[in-house]
Amino acid sequence: MKNYITTIFLFISFLSNAQKPNAFQYIDQKMAKIPDSLTKSTSKIAHFINTNFKTDDEKIRAVFYFTATKIDYDVINMLTINLNLKPEEIINKTLNTRKGVCINYAEVFNDITTKVGIKSVIIEGYTKQNGKIDALSHAWCAAFLNNKWFVFDPTWSAGHIMNGKYVKKFNERFYKMDPTKIITSHMPFDYLWQFLNYPISNDEFHKGLTLINKSKPFFDYEKEIVSYENYTESVKLITSIKRIEQNGVNNKLIAEIHNHKKNKVEYLKQVKLNDDFNKAIADYNEAIQQFNLFIDYRNRQFKPIKPDEEIKKMIEEPKTKLVNTQYLLNNLGAISANNQPNLILLKNNLSDLLKQVEVQEDFVKVYLSKNPNTRKRLFTQYTFFGMPLN
């Protein structure tokens, strides 16, 4: 997935409010003194938090304070992001270097929050500062606390950039924000993550029209999030693409994420196609092995004697596997021209094998319908092709 970066917000008008509330003083002091030996792993950090704090409100504060104060914004590498890193790689690199950009802060916050038992998500979007849309995308987080979603941006609470250098200065502005407040500066690409029943359009965000308008159609984001969580990755992407389009693709950043998600859908389709094709080949080969075991057993005139159900199962299993494989191949979808000959060959071989299996299945049905005294004669009365001998 593409990583998104942004500059850090310069909080001129909020500096007077940068004092830590007394309610958080104990938590912040405790997290400020977390042993360095525990800070290389989100699991160890989460264990420290769970050991020292009891309520979700205390734990989420501990996660936020750690993320915003223990990571420095990486100004030098802000434009040289490795897009191929997996979340766990991003997290490990961040904790070891104590540096990163917005996606690093977001991944660390999200992983620790999840590990302390609080539902959390990473949100991708774009931002507005001083009335202007930022040129770079951004990533932040949200967590579900006391049956409500709150938004957290540890990057923008960590400090600011001045004259091209990072100034570390923790502030409270983007801690546990109400969705109706943060929408003035943070716009998710997918309006599902606005957490609003009357989502703001991209055009409205551009114009600064972020007051809730209840004349719009009602959007049950809570219900939609529950559904989203149960979707496959492909369906998640498809539904997200639809919402992005509905909300207006009216700037370069939105267009980029829209194209990225569409390309990811196509990629996943190809991955599934390849996986299904390889599974079909594997199942076909396994069915051959099962069928050969049956043929060997028939050649020995079903000796040693096995229960009827076991004999029946010996022929039913390869047939079921072949039928399922045939269905899989017939529903593969568009396959590349290079693989078409292989697909046709596999289908033809499978069809031929299935006919042979069905002949043996018919023989087994006849065999099992006879009493034990007459069964033995069937081996000389029927050919392997199913034809009775005169």
Please tell me whether the overall predicted TM-score, pTM, comes out greater than 0.75 for this model: yes
The fold adopted by the segment(s) 269-381 is: Methane Monooxygenase Hydroxylase; Chain G, domain 1 (1.20.58)
- pLDDT tens, the chain, 390 aa long: 333 333 333 333 333 344 445 679 999 999 999 999 999 999 999 999 999 999 999 999 999 999 999 999 988 877 676 667 899 999 999 999 999 999 999 999 999 999 999 999 999 999 999 899 999 999 999 999 999 999 999 999 999 888 888 899 999 999 999 999 999 999 999 999 999 999 999 999 999 999 999 999 999 999 999 999 999 999 999 999 999 999 999 999 999 999 999 999 999 999 999 899 999 999 999 999 999 999 999 999 999 999 999 999 999 999 999 999 999 999 988 787 888 898 999 999 999 999 999 999 999 999 999 998 899 889 888 776 655 544
**Rounded to 5 degrees, what are φ and ψ at 122?**
-95, 135
Q: Is 291 exposed, middle or buried (0-12, 13-18, 19+ CB in 10 A)?
A: buried
Q: How far apart are CA 122 and CA 110, in angstroms?
A: 7
Q: How far apart are CA 152 and CA 154, in angstroms?
A: 6
As its CATH architecture, domain 15-188 has Roll (3.10)
Every domain of the chain and the residues it spans: 15-188, 269-381
Which one, of 331, 348, 314, lies nearest residue 279 by Cα? 331
In 3-state terms the chain splits into helix, strand, coil percentages (rounded to 5) of 55, 10, 35
Q: What is the DSSP code (8-state) at residue 241?
A: H
